[in-house]
Structure 1
Amino acid sequence: MSAERIARVATCAALYASASVFCLLFLGSLAWGPVQFRASEALCVLALFTPDAVPGLALGCAIANAVNIVLGGTGTLGLLDVVFGTLATALGAAWTWRFRSRRAVALLGPVIANALIVPAYLPLMLQGLGFYTVPFTSVALDGAWPLMYAFGLVATAVGEAVVLAVLGAPFARALARSPLPGLVAPVETLAENPAPVSESRP
């Protein structure tokens, strides 16, 4: 891997990790709870412009979730988020890069990946931390994993979709009008797609 690619991966990782920790400090459970609006997920649109965003976003997610073990007091249960949360981010970013020429389809990647993966382990984390009901509801966690998974699937998908629609899509349009696409796109990608990224429509 060239020095330029390493720098792009590191930059994406730093952006995602710092934005996620900011969300943790100032949004609390809205960034890590059963109902999530993690604003840093808007940075997944970076994968529309460079494949280096895929490992970068995954690394940033791993770092942020590791920091949450310390700041959020999740203990060893937080390792579930480090492993599977990172997997969700990596798969979502890979989808975004794969379908980058169709922006609306590309941005479904993080929504689908997080909606399917995160609710599978989040109830276990919350139960281990002493949260036995979903906030603002009477839905109990004890013995109700299928119900919690269904609830989490919908809640996570909605939260992710809102963040990408409200923050991610405008950010992507702004980046597409900037010099960034030409600076970070691989040479082979430019050869295959001579039209500027800014011409693609959601």
Structure 2
Amino acid sequence: MNTDRIVKTAIVAAIYAALTIGLSPLSYGPIQFRLSEVLILLAFVNSDYIVGLTIGCLIANLLGPYGLADIAFGTFATLVSAYLVNVTPKLIKNKYAIWVASLWPVLANAVIVGLMLNIFFKLPFLLCMLEVGIGEFGVVTVVGVPLFKLVLSKYPGFLNFKEA
């Protein structure tokens, strides 16, 4: 990994963690609007962003209120989401690929984080899935995709890694 990639990975991790922790009342719990999840769409452009997103989530969960459960399950959900977002444009080659990609974090977080909340905090699984899924859908699909398209339309090379 070259210096440019390491720096961008660190920046993505820092932004994700700072947004999550800075907006902690919205970021944690069964009903969460983790605005940092908008960044998950970076993986749509380049697989190198998967590492930064996962590290950022790990840092946020290390400092969050749910301890080991969230560190393991929440970070895993982000890793799975970022990977699925990244493979989507390879599988779907049309203008709707970004919209489909935005649904992977909704599903992954609803199931994985919903299961975590059910197992560790004895909250109803289906209710947790619904609450986490709605929050993730609002952030990633409703806010994230239009924002992502706006940034890419104005600054098409902004999100790409350069080879050193």
Which band: TM-score by shorter chain?
0.7 to 0.9
TM-score of the pair, normalised by structure 2: 0.86
2: CA distance, partners of 1:43 / 1:56? 10
33, 44, 50: which is aligned to 1:37?
A: 33
Q: Which string of whole-angstrom CA distances, capped at 9 and with x for unpartnered residues, describes residues 69-127 of structure 1?
A: xxx3x4xxx111111101100110111111135111111111111011001112444x4
Distance 1:38-1:2 versus aligned 2 partners, 3 A rule? same
Ranked by relative contact order (alpha carbons within 8 Å, sequence separation 6 or more), the top structure is 2
Letter in 2 for 1:171: L
- Is 1:95–2:84 an aligned residue pair? yes
Tell me how far 1:180 sits from its aligned partner: 5.0
Q: Superposition pairs for residues 1-202 of structure 1, below 5 Å?
A: 1-24=1-24, 28=25, 30-68=26-64, 72=65, 74=66, 78-100=67-89, 101=93, 102-125=97-120, 127=121, 141=122, 148-179=124-155, 181=157, 184-185=160-161
RMSD in angstroms over aligned alpha carbons? Answer: 2.0
SS of the counterpart of 1:90?
helix
Q: Which runs of 4+ in 1 moved over 6 A?
A: none
Q: Which moved more, 1:109-118 or 1:171-180?
A: 171-180
* TM-score for the superposition, normalised by structure 1: 0.71
How far the C-alpha of 1:35 sits from its partner, in A, is: 1.4
Q: Is the 8 A contact 2:58 2:75 kept in 1?
A: yes
Q: Any idea what the Cα deviations from partners look like across 1:4-53, whole Å, max 9, x if unmatched?
A: 211121111111111101110xxx2x421111211111111111222111
* 8 Å contact from structure 2 (residues 152, 158) kept in 1: no
The 1:177–1:156 alpha-carbon spacing in structure 2 relative to 1, beyond 3 Å, is: same
Cα distance in 1 between the residues matched to 2:159 and 2:116: 38
In the alignment, structure 2 segments of 5+ residues that lack a partner are none
AA in 1 matched with 2:100: V
Identity of aligned residues (%): 34
Q: Which amino acid aligns with 1:97?
A: N
Number of residues of Structure 1 aligned to a counterpart in Structure 2: 157
CA gap 1:23/1:182 in 2 versus in 1, 3 angstroms: closer
For the Cα contact (< 8 Å) 1:114–1:157, is it kept in 2?
Answer: yes
